[in-house]
Structure 1
Amino acid sequence: MTELHQAAAAGDYDLVEDIVKKNSCDLNQKDLDWNKKTPLHWAASRGQTEMVRILIENGARACLRTDNGWTPAHFAAESGRLAVLRLLHSLHAPVDKEDTSGDKPVRIAEIYGHEDCVHFLEKAEIESRNYRQMAKLNGLPLDDTDEEWEQDRNEARLQGKSSN
């Protein structure tokens, strides 16, 4: 776990801003000891809305996934962090991706009984899908895919097929 991971998890805004200003750490580094969580995953799970904003505004990618396919939105949904979900959605972060079990953040919120998050995510999923379609039609760039995770997932599928 890097200093940035620790600062994001602890909610140490001053240290995060200092690290970001000095550009002394990769904002998107995945921690191999913690299921490939990024600092943004930690901030989202802890409900630190302003930390999430700082990280994304400075280049953290909200589409990155843990080893089980969770985005920051999954973590916010698990812990009932509606303000974080609203922020992620307003920044066009993916709030509707399926994890390796096929669960979207809305399902995670449902499992943990966060009804306010469920209601929000049901609407946000439709808005996100519409935004991606509009962006594609207009040639706007989207950052909604974790290429490394997709590659690992495809390789695992191929290995599974070859062993059968």
Structure 2
Amino acid sequence: GDSLSIHQLAAQGELDQLKEHLRKGDNLVNKPDERGFTPLIWASAFGEIETVRFLLEWGADPHILAKERESALSLASTGGYTDIVGLLLERDVDINIYDWNGGTPLLYAVRGNHVKCVEALLARGADLTTEADSGYTPMDLAVALGYRKVQQVIENHILKLFQSNLVPADPE
């Protein structure tokens, strides 16, 4: 029969078949497809958390960028897959990585109205001042799209940063 590629298997979360493929081949775990997407990038884009976890354990490199600078982190953020975002950030990937579009994980999470994902990225230090190619910051984008909850999350984050930098600790 016509078998699926490791990239398709990763995207679809077909873990057993994927494991079989990886056991057979030499260093298929980081093999790019024609767009430069690795199995990890595909699994991240489709929210396949167990597949992402397995690929990372198997030695997949979360720092690899596809041909247009797409990253596993950006694609997981686009989909609002907060658990995957967390797993990737544990591997010290660049939280402010930008792609061909000038998009960053935070900008993609805001654009998708993924509140939990925005919170997770901000908690880990995502840069709020980075502008998309359009000139929008994450806050501008949230306001323009009318995403009140995302806007609130960003405002609260700014307030916390402001308070922690300016307000002296209470003498008890």
Q: Please give the TM-score of this superposition, normalised by the length of structure 1.
A: 0.68
Aligned residues: 124
**1:45 — aligned with what?**
45
| Greater relative CO, 1 or 2 (CA 8 Å, sep 6+) | 1
Higher helix share: 1
- Residue type of the alignment partner of 2:22: V
Pick one of 7, 12, 17 that aligns with 2:9. Answer: 7
In the alignment, the residues of structure 2 paired with residue 86 and residue 22 of structure 1 have an alpha-carbon distance, to the nearest angstrom, of 30
Q: Distance in 2 between matches of 1:118 and 1:37?
A: 24
Residue matched to 2:134 = none
CA RMSD of aligned residues (A): 2.0
Partner in structure 1 of residue 106 of structure 2: 106
Unaligned residue ranges in structure 2 (runs of 5+): 127-172
Letter in 1 for 2:104: K
Give, in angstroms, the shift of residue 30 of structure 1.
1.5
Encode CA deviations 1:23-73: one digit per residue, 9 max, x unaligned.
Answer: 3552112111xx221111110011111111111121211111122211101
What amino acid maps onto 2:83 in structure 1? A
TM-score when scaled to structure 2? 0.65
Q: Which amino acid aligns with 1:75?
A: L
Asked whether the equivalents of residues 96 and 105 of structure 1 are also in contact (C-alpha less than 8 Å), the reply is yes
The alignment-based identity, stated in percent, is 28
Larger radius of gyration: 2
Structure 1 ranges of 4+ moved more than 6 A? none
Partners of 1:108 and 1:64 lie apart in 2 by 18
Q: Is there any run of 5+ residues in structure 1 with no aligned partner, and where?
A: 127-164
Could you tell me whether the CA contact under 8 Å between 1:7 and 1:15 is conserved in 2? yes
